[in-house]
Amino acid sequence: MQPDSASMHQNPAPSALDVAVVQFAPGTDPSANLAALREHVRVAGERGAKVVIAPEYSMFAVSRLDERVVAAAEPLTGPFVTGLGAIAREFGVHLVAGIVEEVAPGADRIRNTLVALAPDATLVARYRKVHLYDAFGHLESDIVEPGEIETPATFVVDDVTFGMQTCFDLRFPEGVRRVAAAGAQVLVLPAQWIPGPSKVDQWTTLLRARAIENTMYVAAADQCAPRGAGASMIIDPTGGVLAELGDEPGVLTAGIDLEQLAAVRTTNPSLALRRFTITERVPE
């Protein structure tokens, strides 16, 4: 199915800034993945999006991580990120996507990294996944080096602040709360949410919960079948779903309305009322 023919529900209200979420099925050919992503970004740009979010592992995707992922890893200056920058420049958007980042030449592990490229092709933010997917029979930590605890990665487009988390991070509300506390008004969440019993229900529930408890927009880009569960979404600060997909490829667009965000945070000042801070847990 072509990305501009996917069935979806969208919010028709006017907005200050339109964002798009790309749902597609990357494979093991980074060049082919880049070409497929370019077509989706073209559609998003034609719909007026200024920020486009693609899934986790957009560069190279397999059902289970192994030595193939290590062999495919590239530095942030490598051809895939360079290609993402070229797409961002061509269509005049900020583009966020998940890559397989090289730790060091010859290393036996990789980093699961999000990059954000500006319309001038510069790298404006990067986030290395902190919570690795060691659950549901998978051991991401066998192949992936966890990211260090750093100041939340954010970038600003037209006075809207975006923060980034990845896939399994969604299950850790304190991580998203740190992003909100750092000033993010939109959570960008690329994922390869592995299909399984109740997984879509958990995904959609957690996405809406993160939006509600942090009074922020959430733009979640999942891979579609066969390696992802789909169900990409854009959610408003009340937990309302502005746009959603099933498990097919497609492009979602919706608006970020800062006036609505301010009204929600005035009515429900949960961020201002919180009584607890978040501290790093030292692994045993």
Give 91-148 pLDDT, tens digit per residue.
999 999 999 999 999 999 999 999 999 999 999 999 999 999 999 999 999 999 999 9
Q: Which residues are catalytic?
A: 56, 129, 167
Report pLDDT digits (tens) over 75-89.
999 999 999 999 999
The answer to whether the CB of 129 falls within 8 A of the CB of 149 is: no
> Which tokens in the block code for residue 122?
């510069």
Count how many domains the chain has.
Answer: 1
- Is residue 200 one of the residues assigned to a domain? yes
- How many C-beta neighbours within 10 Å does residue 109 have? 16
Query: What residues make up the domain containing 165?
Result: 15-273
CA angle 127, 132, 136 (to 5 degrees): 145
Report pLDDT digits (tens) over 7-22.
344 444 445 899 999 9
- Is residue 40 one of the residues assigned to a domain? yes
Q: How does DSSP classify residue 146?
A: P
- Provide the CA 153 distance to its chain's centre, in angstroms: 12
Mean pLDDT, range 203-230, rounded to an integer: 97
- Is residue 282 one of the residues assigned to a domain? no
- Is residue 2 one of the residues assigned to a domain? no
Say what the pLDDT of residue 5 is.
38
pTM of the model: 0.93
- Is residue 97 one of the residues assigned to a domain? yes
Residue 251's alpha-carbon distances to 40, 220, 221, in angstroms, are 7, 12, 9
Long-range contacts at 63-66 (CB < 8 A, ≥ 24 apart): 63/194, 63/226, 63/227, 64/138, 65/138, 65/140, 65/142, 65/143, 65/144, 66/143
Helix, strand or coil for residue 195?
coil
